[in-house]
Amino acid sequence: MAKRSTPRSVLITGASSGIGRALALEYGKRGAHVVVTARREPELVSLCEEIRGAGGRADHLVCDVADPVAAHAVAKRGEEILGSLDMIVANAGVGASSHASRLSLEDVVRTIDVNVRGAMATLMGAIPIMLGQKHGHLVGVSSLAGRRALPGSADYSASKAALTVFLEGLRLDLSRAGIDVTDVQPGFVETPMTSKNDFPMPFIWDAAKAATYVADGLERAPAMVAFPPPLRFLTRLAQLLPFSVHAFATRRAARRSTKRNG
């Protein structure tokens, strides 16, 4: 795959913390003008100051992607600031581990509103802009957890699987129009989202390492950037297993971690 140039104009949702924040810092360092969005404005303001302090260009927009109209409009608002839109990263997401017997309707609706409807609306808002430019890169942050459900992750895994298939469909429809589409599938990354987890998180990366890996990977605009490599391999293997084997292996791992954590 040929290496593309670094995008000059990038919009990232969910940039007030974690992976989105680290990716904004990374693109700032790489010379892109970055528009960062999320709900918490003070965090966005201090991120922009940090990017500018390091010599980069950054602006912020407040946007709640659980409102599909707002999510759909954010690409246009970003393009007005940036002057073009080389890349949009639908990264905003929520997730908490919850056993099926304790799932609340409110939490499941929120997961779907943010991770599925919000991400889809964000990316859809960028499509006409990129078609008009005749170039652009649509990026969605799903998860390795979307490849196969894990105990306590029914709604989260389902939301990420939906986003993965949506991105694949966009790639099928848009690649001939000069628009790249990439599905970023992280394994465990140290962020506020995972800081609540009380189970083992094998091969966990820090957010800066993840952001560098993602930005390097996106340069070739592949269908997928999945990491870390050992978990990418194991989750691919899990996709080939019959349900009974997958269930045995994951329940055993869950029991072991429960024992270890008391």
Ligand X SMILES: NC(=O)c1ccc[n+]([C@@H]2O[C@H](COP(=O)([O-])OP(=O)(O)OC[C@H]3O[C@@H](n4cnc5c(N)ncnc54)[C@H](OP(=O)(O)O)[C@@H]3O)[C@@H](O)[C@H]2O)c1
Report the nearest approach of ligand X to the CB of residue 188 (Å): 4
Q: Of residues 112-131, which lie at the interface with ligand X (CB under 6 A)? A: 114
Q: Of residues 202-261, which lie at the interface with ligand X (CB under 6 A)? A: none
What length does the chain have?
262
Report the nearest approach of ligand X to the CB of residue 92 (Å): 4
Q: State the Rg of the chain over Cα.
A: 18
Binding region for ligand X (CB under 6 A) out of 13-21, 80-88, 124-132, 229-237: 13-21
192 contributes a contact to ligand X by CB under 6 A: yes
> Which of 99, 108, 109 lies closest to 149 in space, CA to CA?
99
Report the nearest approach of ligand X to the CB of residue 23 (Å): 9
Report the nearest approach of ligand X to the CB of residue 43 (Å): 6
The residue within the footprint of ligand X, chosen from 136, 152, 186, 228 (CB under 6 A), is 186
Binding region for ligand X (CB under 6 A) out of 48-56, 192-200, 216-224, 248-256: 192-200
39 contributes a contact to ligand X by CB under 6 A: yes
Query: Per the residue annotation, which of 156, 166, 188, 213 is the catalytic one?
Result: 156
Site string for ligand X, 55-94 (x = CB under 6 A): --------xxxx------------------------xxxx
3-state secondary structure labels for all residues of the chain: CCCCCCCCEEEEECCCCHHHHHHHHHHHHCCCEEEEEECCHHHHHHHHHHHHHCCCEEEEEECCCCCHHHHHHHHHHHHHHHCCCCEEEECCCCCCCCCHHHCCHHHHHHHHHHHHHHHHHHHHHHHHHHHHHCCEEEEEECCHHHCCCCCCCHHHHHHHHHHHHHHHHHHHHHHHHCEEEEEEEECCEECHHHHCCCCCCCCCEEHHHHHHHHHHHHCCCCCEEEECHHHHHHHHHHHHCCHHHHHHHHHHHHHHHHHHCC
Report the nearest approach of ligand X to the CB of residue 58 (Å): 15
# binding residues, ligand X (CB under 6 A): 31
17 contributes a contact to ligand X by CB under 6 A: yes
> Which of 92, 110, 218 lies closest to 155 in space, CA to CA?
110
28 contributes a contact to ligand X by CB under 6 A: no
152 contributes a contact to ligand X by CB under 6 A: no
Binding site for ligand X (CB under 6 A): 13-20, 38-40, 43, 63-66, 91-95, 114, 141, 143, 186, 188-189, 191-194
What positions carry a catalytic annotation?
Answer: 156
